[in-house]
Chains A and B, each alone.
Chain A
Amino acid sequence: MKNRLKVLRAERDWTQAQLAEALDVSRQTINAIETGKFDPSLPLAFRAARLFAVPIEAIFHDEDRRSLATEIKKDTDK
């Protein structure tokens, strides 16, 4: 699963530690999510969405799902 956590954090000029504090997790967890080593649970993903005031899919997206959607769109366009 890909995510835009690092981009959203950088836009707000927050450190990983500040984001970790806001989401009530460790800094290591934020780092692991940002680098794609760890996928957060749904409650944590919702907390992040609430914090950044964006829909959850604006932060997290499934790569396979996106490529599937592109294929379906291509098929429909034909």
Chain B
Amino acid sequence: MSGILYIKTTKGDIVNQSIPRESSYQSRIRTSIMRLARWNGAWVASTALMAFGPKFLWDRALVFTLLAVGLNVAVGIGMILANKKHIIELDELQRKVYLNALAITVGVAIVASVPYSVMTTYHVIPFKAEIAHLVILMGLTFFVSILYGTWRYR
């Protein structure tokens, strides 16, 4: 499906130019998001396999555990590359929103993780600090930052 975009040239002539109903930018971004979602899903699945496999699937057999770790790292690298490719695909405003969100996320992770670790060491908090807590904090921070950035430039 296509639409028509009329363009007036410097000589005053009106010319038309066919444009797709769904913009190439939109379809590119949709493809990029789907690719990113697939890599993220694969990473979560490989992380679950690495975390629960030794106990529930292969009775702590070292070879399988190492294979699961290797798979997790490989999929993780794929996820990073997909993320990088996604940032390149974004237009300049959306890239700005995305990079701002990443900067805030990294900052929050660094600032929050050290006191959290110290609080655990000195038993200020009644539970043990887990890396999962940091991952959840980063995920939520990134999500809120993206929402804020999108709202700011809406």
Contact = CB atoms under 8 A, between A and B. Distances in A.
A66 to B, nearest CB: 24
Interface residues of A, number: 22
A59 interface: no
A71 interface: no
B130 interface: no
Contacts of A18: 3, 5, 19
A24 B7 contact: no
B91 A53 contact: no
Interface in B1-39: 3, 5-10, 17, 19-20, 23-26, 29
B123 interface: no
A53 B26 CA distance: 25
Nearest to B26: A26
A53 B92 contact: no
Contact of B19 (A21, A26, A37, A41): A21
B24 A29 contact: no
A32 B93 contact: yes
A24 B92 contact: no
A38 B93 contact: yes
Contacts of B153: 28, 31-32, 37-38
B94 interface: yes
B94 to A, nearest CB: 6
A17 interface: yes
Contacts of B121: none
A20 to B, nearest CB: 6
B24 A21 contact: yes
A68 interface: no
B5 A24 contact: no
B154 to A, nearest CB: 7
Residue of B9, B20, B24, B94 with most chain A CB atoms under a 10 A cut-off: B94
A44 B17 CA distance: 19
Interface string A30-50: 011000011011001000000
B5 A29 contact: no
A7 interface: no
Interface of A: 12-14, 17-18, 20-22, 24-26, 28-29, 31-32, 37-38, 40-41, 44, 51, 53
